[in-house]
Chains A and B, each alone.
Chain A
């Protein structure tokens, strides 16, 4: 096992009582002194939570054929992006299953920026650079130079505005701006992973500590991985390694909305079309426990006494109780009353719709 990486904010986390755990090759804070529940509540109830997500990867794609290249390697229709716009997308392999889920930022028609998952970084970059050989395009991994902060919650704009030249009010949902923060070039997008209004902030490493401290001085509070996972699960957002993996296609993962089969050819398209025609092998559903307990990843799901699948993300939601995302057999995807096996007991659960709690993103 190689040594764990540290983000430029490692010492800040420790100084604030961060309980550091291994996560995607990094030492990251799972929670701070006040605990995951208080952190969660702070974000949901009008605060500005600051998350160090520097472990995620950033890739710059530039060149005359940047658009054609991204149309080839990603599932969403990149031609629909305007300058300053972001969309959610995915990288598939030829089998139509996921290499990763990503966000794509259009800077110009010849320059794009991708945000990728930490654990998949080297795999993604190797894949992209391999495919790039056929295009007039350069794929640069900028992950090591980039600090990524997420600032989430109703007070996020107020906490961030004093640091930024330009009015954040002008950045719409899933839009971004190239700005100057602390004398350095930065990207600020109105995106996130919590269901709250907020921003993701890409800055060079050398200003990371200063920006972190300024945000804290403006009322933001640090939030760890545990609360982040609670917030994202309540929204039903997919997470690589849980709801999405190289075992499922967008048909199973309910991600056909980012898979544009009419945009022209792309890697994995024919496999996805075939899977769509034959029907999904399993279906992703949302469940809420009606009995007592907490569903956890890998717990088995039953329909009419039949083992039909397993929980991919499960947890205690302070607002919704025991909630889970699970893959079940297609024939049970519409079954209203299911059960989740918790330590040998089948606890009743009902199928529900997402999100588990109301989203407050700015539409």
Chain B
């Protein structure tokens, strides 16, 4: 299980990459492994405004439906449309090709952890 050092993490097992005012969201390796084979991703609409902590996407595995929560507030500016035809990318490359959405941040974030803090959180 990998936990890249250049990302921030939430207790709900989402990751966020912050570059300027743009934040890229996804779910962690731990999350995808716990969910199992992902067969469907419901993406947010571009232009939608989301609050920090709001459910902005849905990931469905073979057996379960899971909400995905936004680590930061903002307006959705891009979504990973590849996931519509290849949702399994969330399993195979959770931090890369499996990203879910990008938002232009408006300020608020929920409590974010560093890679070390997230690792400790997982071990607790």
Binding site for B on A (CB under 8 A): 19, 30-31, 35-37, 226-227, 229-230, 292-294, 296, 315-316, 343
- B contact residues around A229 at 8 Å (CB): 63
Do B40 and A30 touch across chains, with their CB atoms under 8 A apart? no
Out of B58, B62, B84, B91, which one reaches A316, CB within 8 Å? B62
Q: How far is the CA of A294 from the CA of B63 in the complex (A)?
A: 11
CB distance from B30 to the nearest CB of A (A): 14
Q: How far is the CA of A230 from the CA of B65 in the complex (A)?
A: 16
Starting from the known contacts A35-B37, A36-B36, A316-B60, 9 additional A-B residue pairs (CB-CB under 8 Å) come to A19-B36, A31-B36, A35-B91, A36-B63, A226-B63, A292-B84, A293-B40, A293-B42, A343-B42
Main secondary structure of the interface of A (DSSP, over half): mixed
Q: How far is the CA of A36 from the CA of B84 in the complex (A)?
A: 20
B23 at the interface (CB under 8 A from A): no
Nearest 5 CB-CB pairs, A to B? A316-B39, A37-B37, A36-B62, A35-B37, A226-B62
Binary interface encoding of chain B residues 22-36 relative to chain A, with 1 for a CB under 8 A from any of its CBs, else 0: 000000000000001
Q: How far is the CA of A25 from the CA of B42 in the complex (A)?
A: 34
- B contact residues around A226 at 8 Å (CB): 36, 62-63
In the complex, number of A-B residue pairs with CB atoms less than 8 Å apart:
37
CB distance from B44 to the nearest CB of A (A): 12
- A contact residues around B42 at 8 Å (CB): 293, 343
CB distance from B80 to the nearest CB of A (A): 15
Do B36 and A35 touch across chains, with their CB atoms under 8 A apart? yes
Binding site for A on B (CB under 8 A): 36-37, 39-40, 42, 58, 60, 62-63, 65, 84, 91
Out of B37, B40, B58, B60, which one reaches A36, CB within 8 Å? B37
Closest residue of chain B to A19 (Cβ to Cβ) is B36
Q: How far is the CA of A35 from the CA of B33 in the complex (A)?
A: 10
CB distance from A299 to the nearest CB of B (A): 10
Do B37 and A294 touch across chains, with their CB atoms under 8 A apart? no
- B contact residues around A35 at 8 Å (CB): 36-37, 91
Q: How far is the CA of A216 from the CA of B25 in the complex (A)?
A: 41
Q: How far is the CA of A305 from the CA of B53 in the complex (A)?
A: 33
- A contact residues around B84 at 8 Å (CB): 292
Q: How far is the CA of A36 from the CA of B88 in the complex (A)?
A: 12
CB distance from B11 to the nearest CB of A (A): 22
- B contact residues around A36 at 8 Å (CB): 36-37, 62-63
CB distance from B108 to the nearest CB of A (A): 25
Selected A-B contacts with CB under 8 Å, 29 pairs: A30-B36, A31-B36, A31-B62, A35-B36, A35-B37, A35-B91, A36-B36, A36-B37, A36-B62, A36-B63, A37-B39, A226-B36, A226-B62, A226-B63, A227-B62, A230-B62, A292-B40, A293-B40, A293-B42, A294-B39, A294-B60, A294-B65, A315-B62, A316-B39, A316-B40, A316-B60, A316-B62, A343-B42, A343-B58
